[in-house]
Amino acid sequence: MELFYRITLHELIADILTLIEERELSSKNALERVFKRVSGKDRERARGLAHAYVFEIEKWRKKIDFIANSLLKGTRIEDLDLYLANLLRIGIFEMKFKGVNPAIATDSVVRVVKEKYDLNRAKFVNAVLRETEKFDLEKALKKLKEKDRIEYLSVKFSHPRWYVEYVIDLLGYESAIRLLLSNNRPQRYYVRVNPLKTDIDKLAEYLEEHGVRTARTPVDDVLKILEYETPITRLDWYKEGYFVIQDLASAYVAHVLAPEKGERVLDLAAAPGSKTFHVAHLMENTGKIVAVDYSAERLQKMKAKMKVLGVKNVKLVHADGMKFKDKEPFDKIILDAPCSSSGTYRQFPEVKWRFDEKKIKKVIQVQKAMIRNAYKNLREGGEMTYSTCSIRVDENEENIKYAMNKVGFELVDYPFSWGEKGVTEIGDKVFRSFTHLHDCNSFFIAKLKK
């Protein structure tokens, strides 16, 4: 029975990893999809375990693949059938990162390969995993360090090579290493109070009473979670929408936008809605917010969440934010643009492996088109926040310069109360946060005016 359960878990994990890559899903979303077809009394335990495995395997994927590619002959793990590659990754992860007995780790994976593929491939995986057991990672890393220092850092900290080069260039060597280290630390959670239901003091008290230790943050309506006994998503106040889980930097955007009661606000890339809801809360359900996103699935989720949070002034629109044009102009706009997500590696390690230079160039074109379209939707004198969870200058400061020089926006000299300055000649007027400095996503905000 125990054996059967373990094999099932390995299959589920390989399914989730494969879905994440094939469909570009978040690990949370892929986990939800795969667990829809799982039932039984151990479901919740299996789900917790699968989540931990998937998260760690995505985090350490480059290091895992380095081990695999050091052992594979005549092929690379990236060239194997994806599901098979993921089974191999699970085996290597269990053995080298989790300290599972090598014989047990090998046996669990080989059994699945035998069942799903054939004896030949089972023998192949068996051979690679037997080699893994003997593989001296430290020695191989030392050799790599002498040959190619950037590749060494990329493998050691399990980050894309382009990112390592980029952050050394942006921050200097020491800060870059601190950032790489902090991206691999456990996720930090923040909660934002829903002012329609309670206030920050009552929320802090409630959380304290329920074994959650919190601290105040530079953002007035946000608490940092320091310790908890029960996961906060299991608390009644979470289920009833008294608070939301929202990253610290993300929760700063609505304050910078500073919407006033009764205004018309447009959110051009709204789902899953953290910033839309925040604006709705600050406006106390007055005025009108039009929330556009081109993902129908994400809008559906937003609709459900809106009810829980008591938000009543939002109209959801399934449309392309590069083209959407309303009849009347807006007083304020949030453009929280789709981006390389290179500031969210600690929270979503799977995105590390999703973007290459070509894809980043493409997303920058979308960002620019959205900036142009935002301008068309804004009234004269209207204001907009442009934000991304990217560390890259071309997605941030360069786009702001584009908005100023090519589109007609003016950059507002907003008095940011925390965070770092940006770079280039507009650096003094924009906001940046970094995971190693602020214990949240690396993030960018600028405020623009028409």
Ligand X SMILES: C[S@@+](CC[C@H](N)C(=O)[O-])C[C@H]1O[C@@H](n2cnc3c(N)ncnc32)[C@H](O)[C@@H]1O
Instruction: Please give the positions annotated as active site.
Output: 389
From 108, 194, 274, 390, residue interacting with ligand X (rule: CB under 6 A): 274
Residue 342 is a binding residue for ligand X (CB under 6 A): no
Residue 271 is a binding residue for ligand X (CB under 6 A): yes
Contacts of 348 (CB under 8 A, 6+ apart): 26, 27, 341
Segment contacting ligand X by CB under 6 A, of 37-45, 54-62, 307-315, 316-324: 316-324
Assigned token pair, 203: 């929320």
Least separation in angstroms between residue 160's CB and ligand X is 19
Nearest to 50 by CA among 5, 83, 16, 23: 16
Residue 29 is a binding residue for ligand X (CB under 6 A): no
**By C-beta, is 132 or 399 nearer to ligand X?**
399
Considering only residues 347 to 386 of the shown chain, the ones binding ligand X according to CB under 6 A are 366
Rounded CA gap, 352 and 336, in Å? 20
From 294, 353, 375, 402, residue interacting with ligand X (rule: CB under 6 A): 294
Residue 291 is a binding residue for ligand X (CB under 6 A): no
Residue 309 is a binding residue for ligand X (CB under 6 A): no
Instruction: Mark residue 262 as left, alpha or beta (left: phi above 0; alpha: psi -120 to 50; beta: remaining).
Output: left
**By C-beta, is 292 or 391 nearer to ligand X?**
292
Site string for ligand X, 222-251 (x = CB under 6 A): ----------------------------x-
From 293, 350, 383, 397, residue interacting with ligand X (rule: CB under 6 A): 293
Bridge partner list, 223? 191, 216
Annotated binding site for S-adenosyl-L-methionine: 269-275, 293, 320, 336
From 269, 316, 351, 446, residue interacting with ligand X (rule: CB under 6 A): 269
**By C-beta, is 153 or 389 nearer to ligand X?**
389
Rounded CA gap, 421 and 413, in Å? 12
**By C-beta, is 152 or 243 nearer to ligand X?**
243
Task: Compute CA distances 306 → 3, 31, 62, 243, 325, whole Å.
Answer: 43, 23, 38, 12, 23
32 sits in which H/E element:
helix 27-35
Segment contacting ligand X by CB under 6 A, of 30-38, 211-219, 265-273, 374-382: 265-273
Other residues' Cβ atoms within 10 Å of the Cβ of residue 59: 23
Determine the distance from the C-alpha atom of residue 299 to the mean position of all C-alpha atoms in its chain, rounded to a whole number: 18
Considering only residues 382 to 411 of the shown chain, the ones binding ligand X according to CB under 6 A are none
Other residues' Cβ atoms within 10 Å of the Cβ of residue 129: 25
Residue 180 and residue 159 in contact, taking contact as beta carbons nearer than 8 Å: yes
* Contact positions vs ligand X (CB under 6 A): 250, 269-275, 292-295, 298, 320-322, 336, 338, 366
